[in-house]
Amino acid sequence: MSASVLYDSPGPKTRRRSRVASAVSLILIAALVYWVVTVLAAPRVAANGQETPGMFDSSRIDILGNPLVWQNFLNGVLATLAMAGVAAVLAILIGIFFSFVRTARSAWIRVPSVIVLEFVRGMPVLLMIFFVFLVFSTGAYWAGVLGLGLYNGAIIGEALRAGILSLPRGQREAGLAVGLSPVRTRMSIEFPQAFRQMLPIILAQLVVLLKDTSLAYVVGYDELSRTIKNMQSFLGNRYLFTIFAVGLIIYLLMNLALSWVARWVARRSGPKLGKALPNTPKQLGEEGTRAITLPKQGYGPPDPPH
């Protein structure tokens, strides 16, 4: 169905207003960027009269030539990825478990799972990390992994449950009709379809999990945000903006890379169109032409009586 069937094409006045609005928006964005750059580049004058060079002055970015600075950044990135990777696997496993117990037929299983799930979902991630750290006396790393895994696992579990409930009832009935048990029907028929259907939501939640690793600094884990804070404290206010800007770019690149992987996986897991069937004798070839040729006898209307 073409787009013109769904809505009317814009007329000359609408197109002209759209072009004017786009031009004004670009001008405002350019003016905002120019103002931000100008403010950052301007020197600062302290209360005691001492002047500090602007943010883009060479004396503020010369620290980036020190290899120890980049080594600290690398250590922070590796610590962040180590926590995010293990927490992501744990969150998916917990999500699968929650999706099964939430859709159980027995109320003795379903009702307690709802209570636990709502408790986990209602608690902020920061408090969840503190809860694991204080109650279970784990180290900083495992407090972050378990806290992130529990919280994001609850979100993923609800997404998978919604995917299972959105499937046609005929999927489950077909599995039961061929002799599969309810658990095996859920595992082999319903769950794979629900997981594929909810894969974009799951991957988007994993992007959130990667960003939430920055909350682990409160329990003393040296991930990227805590590394940035320690470097700023050690190097002083002169390099405050530089270290912060580099850390921001690193976080942005990690999230963009994970988002790109999420989109790629979503495209790969989507429905694929099969090859078109040949419909001409040239495409079919000689064997195919003979295969679709009807025999001369035994078909068609009967011969008239003599």
* pLDDT band at residue 148 under the 50/70/90 scheme: very high
Q: Convert the pLDDT of each residue in 92-137 to its tens digit.
A: 999 988 888 887 777 888 788 888 888 888 888 888 898 888 888 7
Task: Please give the average per-residue pLDDT across 27-42, as a whole number.
Answer: 87
Tell me the two tokens of residue 249: 């770019």
* pLDDT band at residue 287 under the 50/70/90 scheme: very low
The rounded percent of the chain whose pLDDT value lies above 90 is 18
Q: Convert the pLDDT of each residue in 60-101 to its tens digit.
A: 778 888 889 899 999 999 999 999 999 999 999 999 888 888
Place of tokens 């990227």: 224
Which of 56-70, 159-173, 199-213, 253-267 has maximum average pLDDT? 199-213
Q: What is the mean pLDDT of the chain?
A: 80
Strands 44-45 and 51-52 come out as antiparallel
d(CA 125, CA 215): 8
- Domains of the chain as residue ranges with CATH: 59-269 (1.10.3720.10)
List Cα–Cα distances, 194 to 100, 103, 187, 202, in angstroms. Answer: 12, 13, 10, 11
Q: Convert the pLDDT of each residue in 156-166 to its tens digit.
A: 988 888 888 88
Task: Please give the average per-residue pLDDT across 40-63, as a whole number.
Answer: 72
d(CA 208, CA 251): 12
DSSP class of 295: P
Region for residue 51 given its phi and psi (left: phi exceeds 0; alpha: psi -120 to 50; beta: otherwise): beta
d(CA 254, CA 148): 18
pLDDT above 50 for 277: no
**pLDDT at 24 (0 to 100):** 92
pTM of the model: 0.71
